[in-house]
């Protein structure tokens, strides 16, 4: 069953803008994200749905997909104010994306912390990357150590 929801984004960049996402299970069927000021200003957005972490990439970040693909899995670390996505590649300098907590539509409150799904999406709802995801709550960010 499809689930549609509106995600209010309240930040210094988007005080009143809404992101609308239409889901098909863990996939994104349709969204207005790429028409928002958030995307046009080069900011990414994370949406959580059905045990899946979905990264919506603005056009300015499409070139980062190659760096993301070097990871064997992604670790979503979060606290009350920020979150980050670390693409674990077994090096001392893994690819990392960090954002204020307002750039995610819900806090990841799963009991299960491993074996989750991650996907990255570009304009037109094109899924460009899939890998395993892991989630952890941390006291401080950045949290650059592996799982």
Mean pLDDT of 85-112: 82
Residue 142 within any structural domain of the chain: no
Range(s) of the domain holding residue 38: 3-137
Residue 107 within any structural domain of the chain: yes
Evaluate if residue 45 carries a pLDDT over 50: yes
Residue 106 within any structural domain of the chain: yes
pLDDT tens-digit series, residues 52-80:
999 999 999 999 999 999 999 999 998 88
Residue 103 within any structural domain of the chain: yes
Under 8 Å between Cβ of 133 and 118? yes
The pTM of this model reads 0.86
Residue 145 within any structural domain of the chain: no
Residue 146 within any structural domain of the chain: no
Task: Read off the tokens for 32.
Answer: 């207005």
Q: How confident is the model at residue 110 (pLDDT cuts 50, 70, 90)?
A: low
Strand order across the 3-8 sheet? 3-8, 18-24, 27-31
Query: For 128-140, what is the HEC assignment?
Result: EEEEEEEEEECCC
Calculate the average pLDDT of the chain: 85
Cis preceding linkage at 2, omega within 30: no
Residue 46 within any structural domain of the chain: yes
Query: DSSP 3-state assignment of 37?
Result: helix
Residue 70 within any structural domain of the chain: yes
Instruction: Provide the domain count of the chain.
Output: 1
Task: Tell me the CA distances in angstroms from 55 to 39, 45, 91, 119, 139, one per residue in order.
Answer: 12, 6, 22, 6, 23
Evaluate if residue 118 carries a pLDDT over 70: yes
Evaluate if residue 100 carries a pLDDT over 90: no
Evaluate if residue 15 carries a pLDDT over 80: no
């Amino acid at each position: 069953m499809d689930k549609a929801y509106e995600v209010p984004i309240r930040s210094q960049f988007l005080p009143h803008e809404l992101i609308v996402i239409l889901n098909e299970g863990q996939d994104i069927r349709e969204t207005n994200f790429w028409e928002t000021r958030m995307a046009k200003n080069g900011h990414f957005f994370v949406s959580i749905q059905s045990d899946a972490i979905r990264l919506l990439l603005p056009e300015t970040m499409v070139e980062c997909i190659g760096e993301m693909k070097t990871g064997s899995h992604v670790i979503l670390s979060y606290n009350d104010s920020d979150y980050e996505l670390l693409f674990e590649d077994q090096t001392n300098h893994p690819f990392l994306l960090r954002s204020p907590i307002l750039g995610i539509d819900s806090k990841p409150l799963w009991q299960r912390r491993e074996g989750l799904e991650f996907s990255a999406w570009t304009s037109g709802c094109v899924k460009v990357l899939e890998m395993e995801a892991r989630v952890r709550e941390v006291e401080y960010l950045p949290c650059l150590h592996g799982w």
